Structure 1
């Protein structure tokens, strides 16, 4: 055998082996996609690590706190947090009473516990939200006012108890910056629009480093309420949250986050209830959301900033929650430029004349991104205004939002859903001819009192399995 023939034979064998490997990988990927997703969800839940704390308890009263709703307890919170963390962690106790403070920064291994009857009131003095911190506004990173409760690169942290967190936002503070008269803004007052334009066009779009995107006073971008940033093993449990400046619970770049039994009642502008962003393994359960915007909105960065960060939001689970007012019950977008996958929603109740949609996906060709593998089951919907399922890939709120990044949406599943009053549409979905929306399945779904069963464009495979809309058994649409 010549040397050339020998090398050719080995080259052919190598190609055959490569083909076998690629075939096996493809089969395993398909098997994963078609296997029981709810078993996958159970595995994700089991993998989420809850924080564990020492039994030691430090009361803020022992560090000079005064419960009169007037005295500034910022230093007391800072001292008790530091002392608790330095001692190896434990519980920081907020007893009954009203405690005024600036932002609270959580430390490693500390559980901020609010006793029943306690209320933390957050300052209405902008100076108290300094120094500026690394945070995010509508999916774009910047240096801005501190969130009201903030943790940066911390592990094993919690906010628990039966007390109230009161952001004190309203038509006299924070909310007017949105620029709407219904939230206290008056002609000639400052508003966020110029600051947003500066952040997007002069900084994010030209890749200015985050530490040089300086905002704060003189700009008008409101802080999130609770923001664990690049944190691990996070628990928010039991507390009631009211009067938020902006997004309410915003885990960003975080892993193993549990939101359990919280009540969010805040009807301000952009008052999303919970916004996991660039985050993985997030469990939201037993919660009540009554909000001025989306109840739960899953994010992964806006436009070029999302593509720069490039962290997919995945393994997000919503269980046994109640959605009242809001733009959407469970929403993906609009800031999803890095993509969203593996979303599970089960055993929830959504019902209000002020709830616009039950399940919603929103993006555009400037945002781009993808949403895949969404599973929703056992949902009771009383009343929604517009649609049970809405997929809007032409979303725009700040003028034209067009670019070169066509979104990819596929494998959206609704099962065992009952809707008493579906509003305008059962399914409202519009995709792009170049990249159609793929594989929407409704199984064992009953929708009553809806104006139109569906309105779809550029959708491949709208599957109806034992689905009844306005008393009519629906037939699958294949394209």
Structure 2
């Protein structure tokens, strides 16, 4: 009798996700949303996102014995200052001008880690100094090396100032673990492939996160800055360079502000900002120059995403600049729990090394429903591949086919100007029986592009007062 009972128990564990997916299917047949009404809701969403507030009390790390110079380890100093600050009700942990070497920094409630101009934190590249914590790797939860800056289940936290956070990622440390020659990997050196496959297998089998233990002896790189299950978060003003892996990763968090940050990090998988399972995330006035997607909105990978079943929603991107990267604003590919209500406006995207402006990626192993993406007033100087790219056959790490069909609907790009769109204005590939629905280009001008659009399994693509290569576009017939 035990075996049937086990099967029933597993089904119950996944029931909420399957119901969510089933409920999403009828929505695909409904009429599209109204973009004007959607934009009218934005002020009320922004009004709910409050900056954290801190006591006017400062804890200078020099008073706790910090030694500048970039050689002496200051890990215990940061720990003592942060614990004293939070114990006394919070305030500012001040990092004065100078270079400070440290291991991971763990934030606590009501603490603002503030780097003055001229301050630089150099993170140790020795994996042994990073404890094992509950974290995530490419959309799958696990126990792994601590992120360089980590806040777990905290409230009212911030990293601010005009200083620099230097992950010191390089081909000599961290980056080569990706297993690619371009990042210094050579045959016989450690690489992540075996560990990635092992982690995926553990997640597919439903092994509890606490038993997915990696870290020492394994080669899954840590995230740079991770806010895990946090509320009221601010990351403001700092420069972030040379991250080991994903740069900014709010996961299962809400009311997050990323404001005026500069990211220059060209390592492998160096996404600039990856909100995952998160709600009410406001990314503004930020510069992205990255080795992967500039912004990549996530919601878990494969069975792990369906297990968690928390979609990312109300993600706002305003007044940002995107230079090098795989995509300016990307949704996916770890997208299994879905994404709703993404707003992008007043951004500039321009680089010969920027592949796409707006990008959505998934496949039938990851699934997920992406809906209601609103883009307006963007300026694209140059991209390589496409202005809008939607690839629902996206594949990495071997077999990426399954029975969880990805669905995309209501993608609006309006009042935008593109000088050089690369190969395609729109490159969109859906699945038979699960078409991509409701793409709108309204008041868009693409001055130069090789092909207007290339679509497969797309329903209800419309051009409204849109010009491509000097011609007024007509909506395709027989969709």
TM-score range with shorter-chain normalisation? over 0.9
Aligned to 1:87: 88
Contact 2:226 2:248 in 1 (8 A): yes
Shift of 1:31: 11
Instruction: Tell me the secondary structure at the aligned position of residue 221 of structure 2.
Output: coil
Aligned-pair CA distance for 1:35: 5.8
Q: Take 2:191 and 2:217, find their aligned partners in 1: how far apart are those partners?
A: 10
In the aligned structure 2, how far is the partner of 1:35 from the partner of 1:95?
47
The reply on whether 1:183 has 2:180 as its aligned counterpart is: no
Asked if the contact 2:323–2:349 (Cα under 8 Å) also holds between the matched residues in 1, the reply is: yes
- Counterparts of 1:191 and 1:33, CA distance in 2: 47
Residue in 2 that maps onto 1:120: 121
In the other structure, the counterpart of 1:22 is none
Tell me, yes or no, if structure 1 residue 216 matches structure 2 residue 215.
yes
SS in 1 for 2:42: helix
Alpha-carbon distance in 2 for matches of 1:160, 1:228: 14
**SS in structure 2 opposite 1:423?**
coil
Q: Flag structure 1 segments of 5+ consecutive residues without an equivalent.
A: 1-25
Question: 1:364, CA displacement in angstroms?
Answer: 0.1
Aligned residue number for residue 60 of structure 1: 61
| Residues 34, 237 of structure 1: alpha-carbon distance in 2 compared, 3 angstrom cutoff | closer
- Once the two structures are TM-superposed, the CA of residue 447 in structure 1 deviates from its matched residue by 0.5
Question: What do the CA deviations read for 1:40-81 (whole angstroms, capped 9, x no partner)?
Answer: 111111111210000000000111110110010000000000
Matched with 1:172 is: 172
TM-score by length of 2: 0.93
Deviates more, 1:398-407 or 1:464-473: 398-407
What is the deviation of 1:33? 5.5
Which structure has the higher relative contact order (CA within 8 Å, separation 6+)? Answer: 2
Compute the displacement of 1:399 (Å).
2.1
SS at 2:450 equivalent: strand
- Secondary structure (helix, strand or coil) at the match of 2:128 reads helix
Q: Which structure has the bigger radius of gyration?
A: 1
**What pairs up with 1:411-426 in 2 under 5 angstroms?**
411-426=410-425
Q: In structure 2, what is the Cα distance between the partners aligned to 1:189 and 1:214?
A: 22
Structure 2 CA distance for aligned equivalents of residues 161 and 460 of structure 1: 47
* Post-superposition offset of 1:30: 7.9
Per the alignment, residue 379 of structure 1 pairs with 378
**Could you say which residue in structure 1 is the equivalent of 2:402?**
403
- 1:477 deviation in Å? 2.3
**1:153 counterpart residue number:** 153
Maintained 8 Å contact 2:130/2:145: yes
1:9-32 deviation per Cα after TM superposition (whole angstroms, max 9, x unaligned): xxxxxxxxxxxxxxxxx9xx9898
Instruction: Quote the residue 2:16 is aligned against.
Output: none
Describe the superposition over 1:424-476 as per-residue Cα deviations: whole angstroms up to 9, x where unpaired. 00000011121111000000000122110000011111110000000110011
Separation in structure 2 between the aligned mates of residue 168 and residue 217 of structure 1, nearest angstrom: 19
Runs of 4 or more, structure 1, over 3 Å off, are 29-35
User: SS at 1:69's partner residue?
Assistant: coil
Helix, strand or coil: the match of 2:72?
strand
Name the structure 2 match of 1:271.
Answer: 270
Pairwise CA distance, 1:366:
0.1
Distance in 2 between the 1:161 and 1:232 partners? 20
Instruction: For 1:30 and 1:179, locate their aligned partners in 2 and report how far apart those are by CA, in whole Å.
Output: 46
Rounded Cα–Cα distance in structure 1 between residues aligned with 2:476 and 2:460: 6
Distance 1:279 1:150 in 2: 16
CA distance in 1, matches of 2:36, 2:44: 13
User: What does the per-residue CA deviation read over 1:308-335, in whole Å, with 9 as the maximum and x for residues that have no partner?
Assistant: 0000100000000000000000000000
Does the residue aligned with 1:72 lie in a helix, a strand or coil? Answer: coil
More displaced stretch, 37-46 vs 94-103: 37-46
Could you say what secondary structure the match of 2:363 adopts?
Answer: coil
State the shift of 1:181 in Å: 1.0
Contact 2:32 2:410 in 1 (8 A): no
* Distance in 1 of aligned mates of 2:34 and 2:227: 31
Q: Distance in 2 between matches of 1:224 and 1:34?
A: 35
Aligned-residue offset at 1:400: 2.6
Distance in 2, matches of 1:473 and 1:256, equals 41
| Residues in 2 aligned to 1:395 and 1:74: alpha-carbon distance in whole angstroms | 41
Q: Which residue does 2:79 correspond to in 1? A: 78
CA distance in 1, matches of 2:256, 2:223: 17
Instruction: After TM superposition, give the deviation of residue 338 of structure 1 in Å.
Output: 0.1
- In the alignment, structure 2 segments of 5+ residues that lack a partner are 1-26
1:16-415 pair list within 5 angstroms: 36-130=37-131, 132-201=132-201, 203-415=202-414
Distance in 2 separating the partners of 1:469 and 1:347:
21
CA distance in 1, matches of 2:361, 2:328: 13
Measured in 1, the distance between the counterparts of 2:355 and 2:48 equals 34
Distance 1:259 1:431 in 2: 32
Other structure's SS at 2:357 match = strand
1:12 alignment counterpart: none
For 1:291 and 1:338, locate their aligned partners in 2 and report how far apart those are by CA, in whole Å: 26
2:23 maps to: none
Give the corresponding residue for 2:435: 436
Distance 2:313 2:302 in 1: 18
Q: CA deviation at 1:296?
A: 0.1
Structure 2 counterpart SS, 1:327: coil
Question: Matched residue pairs, number?
Answer: 450
